[in-house]
Structure 1
Amino acid sequence: MNSTLSSKQVAVIGGGPAGLIAAETMARAGLRVHVFERMPSVARKLLMAGRGGLNITHSEPPGTFCARYGDAADWLAPHLKAFPPSALVDWCAALGQETFVGSSGRVFPKAMKASPLLRAWLNRLDGLGVRVSLRSDWHGWDADGALTFANGNTFRADATVLALGGASWPRLGADGGWTALLPGIDIVPLRPANCGFRVGWSEIFRKQHAGAPLKRIALKFNGEVLRGEAVITSEGIEGGAIYALSAKLREAIARAGEAKVFIDLRPDMTLDELSEKVDGPRRGATLSNFLRKSANLPPVSIGLMQEALHSGADSVKLSALVKAIPLRLTAPFGLARAISTAGGIALTELDDGLMLHKRPGIFVAGEMLDWEAPTGGYLLQACFATGLAAGHGAIHWLNSN
């Protein structure tokens, strides 16, 4: 243990994955670590993610993996190299949580939930001497540089890691309120990521099909084709296939006020194959019965066809419509319904150790930073990687000062 570091106390604001891995990293170096979490328990969003199996990372090749982060890929690359998916898998195993690779390449704990992993992790942190204060809502710094909290408490830290998350799922703790606590820091506006979008459904379609899944479809947008699933909601459409395109759709709406996507209801069939089935005479059958029998379409898909026909697509052949139903998306759903957040502290505000240039001794990790990623394990991987980097950055800075 470094005797110099053992005399230092550090704070971590935020008890999600980024904050907790930063705390573990610093505690292992001998620092006295105190985690402050505004909620009654830590890692609530991680536990929520565990309800879907806890997709912790992805097994694809490093180059492909890193490219998933879009504009932030080059910036994240060294942090992902320092803590790649294989390291996260090993870290899980060391906590007694073996993982497996699903058919899509996504990596999950065999327990298919987050609670066993979190329990083991918190036990490890306790063994390392990490203290955790709950219901501690950070309010900034006082005139002497001490951290201040809503309950009136203060804490003087030799270094601080901020890991307060973005602004999605605010009821789980991250509401983006920290943006007002960092004056002078360039913050890219927080926006919904991995989100659904608003569509102006007719009242009859909304009543009949809200909540219905669209399975084995393909979405087409600006030449990109992506297979997956989606769900009709009363306000629009959401689901995996939409989430994968959400960054591009969001930016298109910001530029033009709307985005037009096309749904292929039968991506397993060619246009010619469909034409043979649906472009012939109906012989007295209603459109609904005809499409159900000839193209094997479920009610929600037939409803989408009828929506398009009522909106002026009646001159298009049915086969062409099945392969490309137009949808006009007018706005993303709000941050409260988004899976994750785009925007955050501009990456130019940070040094290589994730310390703020304008606030020496203050480090930042996780979704507070200006990067975004699709679902598939990329969000958690980057939170872990940047949390580790911030922890190491704080250690290096304290050793140097």
Structure 2
Amino acid sequence: GVPVVPCHNAANAEAAAEIARTIGQPVALKLHSFDDIPGKSAAGGVALHLDTPEQVKQAAAAMWEDIGRTLPGACRKGFCIEPMISRDAAPELMIAVVEEACLGPVFLLGRGGIACDSQELAAAIPPLDLNLARELIERARIHRLLEGTPGVHGAALESIALTLVKISHLICDLDAIVEININPLLAWNQEVVVADAWLRIDGQAPPIAQRLAIRPYPKELEEILRLPDGQTLLLRPIRPEDEPLYVELFDRLSPDEIFFRFLSRMRTLSHKLVARLTRLDYDRDMALVLVGQRPNGESELYGGVRIMAAPDTERAEFAIVLRGDMTGLGLGPMLLRRIIDYAQSRGIVEIYGEVLNDNRPMLKLCQVFGFTAKRSFDDPEITHVSLKLQSECAT
């Protein structure tokens, strides 16, 4: 979860004072209301550094009267009393998720507290992983302040990124959450904490999968594999954070294995290419990777299979890569079967690929699965293979 300041609710000024007495330290008093009071601090709905129960009682009574006079239509539900926490050297952030008609849920990030400015917000579309969360932070105008200044520690950027990812998971897992507002999120140099937040629930909201502009990580495709030699592997969709693991996989391939996969005598993978291979739009493309564990517990990739769909999504190009030390275990046929099954489930009617004539194991595998093979007119060293699929979506 996301760390929050403990909050105690009170129905009236007297109850708020009694709660402050039990807390036994300076408190913050906030009006408890729905989201019909925008800018609660500016509206007079927040009082800070209240040292005694009597100060809390007086502030609560004045706040109730003032808000009732200036915002007569606001729904006042009581008060929230929180232990006063030091905000020294802690930048205040605002994290929000709002629903846009064309894009669905959208993340907004910027300055929090009374300095919040809608013109300075950076935006991103969920789902967010750590890489995308870091990019969102870097695009926000407050990023320079978060990095720190000479003599002043920067904020806990990784904790902010992790908070964004956790909120993204919340949005993607619960259909009924249609809006979130965290303001402020206090970001010290080692931790973050939510000082105030609200969310809006709509029990009639369409499923989140229909509202997201980008398909979330398809966890349902994860599968545990137990090999005849006793190894246990995880087959799962590739993720953006797999980029360093994919580079390691490439470095373990022989020159011929690289040539067979990429049809090029590449020595290294460019960052641009590996980012394209690991950051997918799951709605169009899919890559399933084999993940094992080293003796020290760290993950490593043994290979994978992918399809890249054409704009009409009816045809998709496929490719397989497998480390040489993992051949002979039936993993190649298994990967091809899994991606064929996935393509059928997505309504793709044909998969195809280009195979070097010298890649006899791949050509034999395609023959076993019923692919049609034709020599390329443009390059006599390449064979085009294709397989018509019976879509599960067909009627």
Give TM-score, length-normalised by structure 2: 0.27
Between structures 1 and 2, the one with greater helix share: 1
TM-score by length of 1: 0.27
Higher strand content, 1 or 2: 2
Query: Which of the pair has the greater relative contact order for Cα pairs under 8 Å at 6+ separation?
Result: 1
Which of 1 and 2 has greater Rg?
A: 2
